[in-house]
Amino acid sequence: MNRQQGFSLIELAIVLVIAGLLLAGVMRGQELIANAKVKSLASDFRNIPTYFYAYQDRFRALPGDDHAAVAHLGNANIASTAGQQQNGLIQGAWNSESASDESFLLWQHLRAAGLASGTTDINSGQYAPRNSEGGRLGVTSVGALSAVTSGTFNSAHALCSDGIIGRYATQLDTMLDDGAGNGGAMRIVLSSTPGTGVATPDPATPYLVCMSF
């Protein structure tokens, strides 16, 4: 008569330990990936304002607002900004697609100056800057930033980064500001709903994150 053998308690314990280790490894791996993404997104908020002010220090004009950009950059292919006011403010929507907007030409000036990476060809499909999540990046004056309620920021300019899920947006705010999406220098808003910011973003919902500088 054949007796059916089952697993011993020791064997079951070993299986459970192995399964637990595998699960912990997967979760740790996901956490590392998430942290790497947040650090990449955070580097945009740290580096781009640095490029912006480095250009100002070098040429005594703001990128995109520089009427002498051709002479400053030694590049005859730089688009003209003569149609814009050189008033120390970046005009145009943060995500402008218009070659006549300072917020659009800003990237050409920064790249031609060797401060930011990317193509200087404003007609290229790769011209518009993107964050590591594929969302659009942009800079504009606070007065022209319709994505955030007027009067929210005290600084002159803001950097915006779109398509950032709430989980990452909250981590960014905690890392770079006060941890509140509706207060401080960084605000978390729904792309289609301008406001002062979302206090507690939904972890899986994509948001637009803007930080004044």
**Strands 186-189, 206-212: parallel, antiparallel or unpaired by DSSP?**
antiparallel
Contact present, 117 and 109 (Cβ < 8 Å):
no
| Position 24 pLDDT exceeds 70 | no
pTM of the model: 0.84
The rounded distance, in Å, linking the Cα atoms of 171 and 179 is: 8
Q: Are 54 and 45 in contact (CB under 8 A)?
A: no
Q: Kindly tell me the sign of the dihedral angle through the C-alpha atoms of 44, 49, 55, 57.
A: negative
Q: Looking up tokens 């800079």, which residue turns up? A: 139
Compute the distance between CA of residue 208 and CA of residue 58 in angstroms, rounded to an integer: 31
Q: Is the pLDDT assigned to residue 114 strictly greater than 90?
A: yes
Helix/strand/coil for 164: strand
Is pLDDT at 4 greater than 60 in this prediction?
no
pLDDT at 110: 98
Q: For residue 146, give the nearest of 199, 208, 104, 203 by alpha carbon.
A: 208
Nearest to 190 by CA among 167, 213, 163: 163
Q: End-to-end distance of the chain based on CA atoms, in angstroms?
A: 82
Encoded tokens for 158: 């803001």
> Which pLDDT score, from 0 to 100, does residue 29 have?
63
Asked if residues 140 and 94 have their Cβ atoms less than 8 Å apart, the reply is yes
Q: Output the pLDDT for position 34.
A: 76
Mean pLDDT of the chain: 91
Band of residue 17 on the pLDDT scale cut at 50, 70, 90: confident
Tell me the pLDDT band of 169, cut-offs 50, 70 and 90.
very high
HSE-up of 213 (CA within 13 Å, CB side)? Answer: 20
